[in-house]
Amino acid sequence: MNSNDLARYIEATDGISKPWLLGQLRLKKLQERKSTLSPDEYFAELAQLHEDMLKLGEWWVGREDEVFGKP
């Protein structure tokens, strides 16, 4: 799945309000650009993405069914 496919999936499933999906999209776009970046630029952007994902915290705890759906 490329970033365009992932973006369409996020849009089709109302995933725009799901920050972990937006993080996945950022990661996919970064992976697609990796060959155009220097190693330092790539790792700096990856570190920033990682930091942003960690800031999400555990906001979903206690809301698993609502947020992720029932299995």
> What are the tokens at 21?
């999906």
- Domains of the chain, by residue range, sit at 3-57
Residue of higher predicted confidence among 35 and 71: 35
> Quick one: which of 9, 53, 8, 5 has its CA closest to 27?
53
The tens digit of pLDDT for each residue in 7-59 reads 999 999 998 988 889 999 999 999 999 999 999 999 999 999 999 999 888 88
Place of tokens 């849009």: 11
Contact 27, 42 (CB under 8 A): no
User: Is the model's pTM score more than 0.85?
Assistant: no
In the chain, % helix, strand, coil (3-state, to 5) comes to 75, 0, 25
Contacts of 24 (CB under 8 A, 6+ apart): 6
